[in-house]
Amino acid sequence: MFPAAVYVLCFLTSACCAWLLGRSYARSRERLLLWSSACFILLAGNNLLLVMDLLIFTDVNLRIGRLLLSLSAISVLLFGFIWDLEDDAA
């Protein structure tokens, strides 16, 4: 029961972070907040897949999907950092 609670809390935390970052982006229009929000949306999706993989669909392996979501999340954030750095340098 304890691992299930931890998985669900991780999903809720990352979803809440994505929502707060998105709300801050809507107010300030800082692009770094947009990229961070997109990263946390993907990380929340990763955590949701983890919950489904380990608790709901125990006979199906969703590891590849989780890895792809993690890779996408880090790629989006890295792209945002590089794009912001290039715009600041110009």
Tens of pLDDT, residue by residue over 25-72, are: 999 999 999 999 999 999 999 999 999 999 899 899 999 999 999 999
The pLDDT of residue 23 is: 98
The pLDDT of residue 14 is: 97
Contact partners, residue 66, CB within 8 Å, separation at least 6: 46, 49, 50, 53
pTM, full prediction? 0.90
- CA angle 60/14/44 to nearest 5° reads 30
Residue tagged 């692009």 (tokens): 31
Closest alpha carbon to 87 in 36, 49, 30 = 30
* Mean pLDDT (whole number) for 5-22: 96
Round to whole Å and give the CA distance between 17 and 8. 14
